[in-house]
Structure 1
Amino acid sequence: MASVETTERLGCNLGFISTFAIGTGTMIGAGIFVLPGIALADAGSGAIISFLFGGLISIATAISMSELATGMPLAGGSYYYISRTMGAALGAVIGLGSWLALIFKGTFALIGLAEYSQIFYPLPLYLGMIQI
């Protein structure tokens, strides 16, 4: 298994409030403005339970990532942690997956923005050849 080593150190410029704001904004994102209405319409009160369950999973993920960041305080995030523990190939898969997730996150945020803009300026909204 190939070892991935780096000597690049991260600067400790972010405090608790900054880190909390970045993490919360990333997890909640634009979905909080679009999905709750759909979820409540389809699942009723079960949607509240599912949001709470998702919050517990997010807390577990945040605690795990904070432990990894404390134990390996180097640049690279998920890519570095996975490549260090499971090999460079799997680290590359995780790194590309994170990159694609950020692309889709931005795309879905723009779709949500377009839906909200329909309130003020109604236009037909197209996604490729499919009208939404």
Structure 2
Amino acid sequence: MPALAVEIKANIAAIAAGAMISSGLFILPGLAFAKAGPAMILAYIIAGILVIPTIFSKAELVTAMPKAGGDYFYITRSMGFTAGTIAGLASWFSLSLKSAFALVG
């Protein structure tokens, strides 16, 4: 495992943070506030609460199986190669189109 820690540099962390935060953080809240008004804040709070079980599940997976590969590895391990490949490709496509969809609104 130490070899993996040596290979990961700051630029990889920056790419990962950019993929998670994306441009949607700066564009979509304004559009949502224009349409929903102050209820948008409540919607963000509810969405944040609903995501908490997913965050804890992912944290458990990462600590139990600290392997490179992310969702692909976990899905392949639990449901097989085909499901892992489909999930990996879907994740790749969603990340590649995420900024475009955020800009469209």
Stretch deviating more after TM superposition (35-44 or 54-63)? 54-63
TM-score (norm 1): 0.60
Larger helix proportion of the pair: 2
Match of 2:98 in 1: 105
RMSD (CA atoms)? 3.0
Match of 2:85 in 1: 92
- Do 2:19 and 2:95's aligned partners in 1 also have CA atoms closer than 8 Å? no
Query: Which digits, 9 at most, give the CA deviation of each residue in 1:29-85, with x for residues without a partner?
Result: 211211111111111122111111222344433322221111111121101101101
Match of 2:60 in 1: 67
Instruction: Summarize the Cα distance change of 1:66–1:23 in structure 2 as closer, same or farther, 3 Å threshold.
Output: farther
Structure 2 residue runs of 5 or longer lacking an equivalent are: none
Amino acid of the structure 1 residue aligned with 2:95: L
Which structure 2 residues correspond to residues 33-52 of structure 1 after superposition, within 5 A?
33-52=26-45
Instruction: Summarize the Cα distance change of 1:41–1:107 in structure 2 as closer, same or farther, 3 Å threshold.
Output: closer
Distance in 2 (alpha carbons) for counterparts of 1:23 and 1:65: 16
TM-score (norm 2): 0.73
- Do 2:72 and 2:85's aligned partners in 1 also have CA atoms closer than 8 Å? yes
Q: What fraction of aligned residue pairs are identical, expressed as a percent?
A: 42
Amino acid of the structure 2 residue aligned with 1:96: L
Distance in 1 (alpha carbons) for counterparts of 2:76 and 2:51: 22
- Do 2:24 and 2:99's aligned partners in 1 also have CA atoms closer than 8 Å? no
Q: Aligned residues, how many?
A: 100
Which structure 2 residues correspond to residues 106-121 of structure 1 after superposition, within 5 A?
106-108=99-101, 111=103
Distance in 2 (alpha carbons) for counterparts of 1:70 and 1:44: 40
Correspondent of 2:46 among 45, 50, 53: 53
Q: Who wins on radius of gyration, i.e. which is larger?
A: 1
Structure 1 residue runs of 5 or longer lacking an equivalent are: 1-7, 113-132
